[in-house]
Structures are given as structure tokens and as C-alpha cells.
Amino acid sequence: MKMDPFERIESTLFVVTYGRSGSTLLQNLLNALPGYVLRGENANLLGSLVQSWQDLRSFYPEQLERMRIAGPLPSGPHQPWYGYEAIEVDQLGRDLAQVFLRNVLRPEADSRVVGFKEIRWHEDPALFEPMLDFLQRYMPRARFIFNTRDHAEVCRSGWWKTMEPAVVRQELQQAEALYGKWQAAHPESCLALHYNDYISGPEAWRRLFDFLGEPFDPELVQATLDRKLMHMKWKKRTIPDRRP
């Protein structure tokens, strides 16, 4: 009998970053590790799922107290919020996490570590912590890599170069402030990487391998660094980037 791929998962891994930070290079390296499947961006689909969980989590205690004051619990079919007290917030979170894991991350038969990278985590600052909290609560041994890059270089790259540099820098600073706050509160599950450090050569990647608990492989790193990335060139040849 074949083992369910979910039973093989040792941990989950999430790359938290912004656009043009070198995250695709990092994604390539992670996917070169045996048993790793790190999916690419999904337009922050996770945020939509987490929003429903967060809305319920925030409102549930308040509404439950109103119901206790209004009448005895459990509620009856004559009451407007009939059955609300029976909702299981944690069960909703676990089920949503399984839906995301099964249908978006899609572990493969030999997957040990699965996750994704996304560049849109910071776009709704109020939802940033709930998203990471959700992953930490409901995903198997969730860990986070925060990937950054020199702001002047980001300003000159991709769609950012069509924007005012001061606006870009402000957005990047706000994103990194969110990253830093989470890392300070959860140091054991976080690693901060900087593109301008690790692009220098294989040795700079050693701390990533240490964080992951994987044997350091400088030849694998060098092969990844030598591979040219073509995704922005493909976009220029096919579909114009309409990101503001």
C-alpha cells in the first residue's frame, strides 16, 4: 500500500518577500534539495482563506457573550444566531489548512518539505500576522524565510522602476518592518536572508542549510547560481506587466 504523501511531510516552509528580491533564485535552490517542493506565487490566495478564519476568530467571543446575555445556551431555532456557539474556530482553521495543503501546495509522493514563496504578504498589513500565525498553528512544523534585497537595486528592477523611488522605498521599509516584528517574536522558526549576501557565492548559503537541517552542498549551490533565470524576459516577450 502506498503511503499518503501528507504522511511524509516533515515540515512546511514559506518564503516571505517582495518582488524582485531574488526569491526565484532562492526558490530554485530549495527545489533542488531532495524531497523539497516549494511552489511559486499564488497571488496571495492564502490571504483570502485566512481572512475568513481571522474574521471568525476576532468576532466569535464578542458575539458569544451577546448570546449568553440574551438567553440561555445552547441557542434554539427561534433565535437569530441559532447554532453559532457550536462553531469550532480551530477546526475551521485546520480544515482550511488542509484544503490549501492538498489543493494548492499539492505534495508529491516523495515530498518531505513543502511550501511556497509569495511576494504579496505585506500588501494588507493588518492580515500579515494572522497569515503567518495561521501557518504556524495549522501547518506541519512551519518555518519562515524572510528574503530581502538592497532597496536601490529593487527600485531599478522590474515594475518597480516605473514607480517613484521614494514610494518604492517606503513600501519596502514597511514590508521589512512587518518581517522584523514577526522574526523577533518567533526566532526559532525564522531565518533572514539578504540577496546581496548570498549572491556572492556558495559559502554564504551555509546558514540556510543549517537552518533547514540539511547537509551543505556547495556544488549544488554553485549550479543554482550559474543557472540563468528567464522569467522576466518571458514576461517581456509575451504579456506586458501591468502591475502599478
- 11 contacts 141 by C-beta, under 8 angstroms: yes
Provide the whole-model pTM. Answer: 0.90
Q: Which of 52-56, 170-174, 234-238 has the lowest mean pLDDT?
A: 234-238
% of the chain at pLDDT higher than 90: 88
Kindly tell me if the per-residue pLDDT of 63 is higher than 80: yes
Confidence band, pLDDT 50/70/90 cuts, at residue 55: very high
Kindly tell me if the per-residue pLDDT of 111 is higher than 90: yes
Kindly tell me if the per-residue pLDDT of 229 is higher than 70: no
Q: How far apart are CA 146 and CA 79, in angstroms?
A: 47
Kindly tell me if the per-residue pLDDT of 6 is higher than 70: no
How large is the average pLDDT for residues 215-225?
96
Predicted local confidence at residue 241, as pLDDT: 47
Kindly tell me if the per-residue pLDDT of 156 is higher than 90: yes
Predicted local confidence at residue 21, as pLDDT: 97
Kindly tell me if the per-residue pLDDT of 66 is higher than 60: yes
Rg of the chain (C-alpha set): 21
Round the average pLDDT of the chain to a whole number and report it.
Answer: 92
Kindly tell me if the per-residue pLDDT of 239 is higher than 60: no
How large is the average pLDDT for residues 130-138?
98
How large is the average pLDDT for residues 102-111?
95
CATH of domain 5-43+106-236: 3.40.50.300
Predicted local confidence at residue 7, as pLDDT: 73
Kindly tell me if the per-residue pLDDT of 235 is higher than 90: no
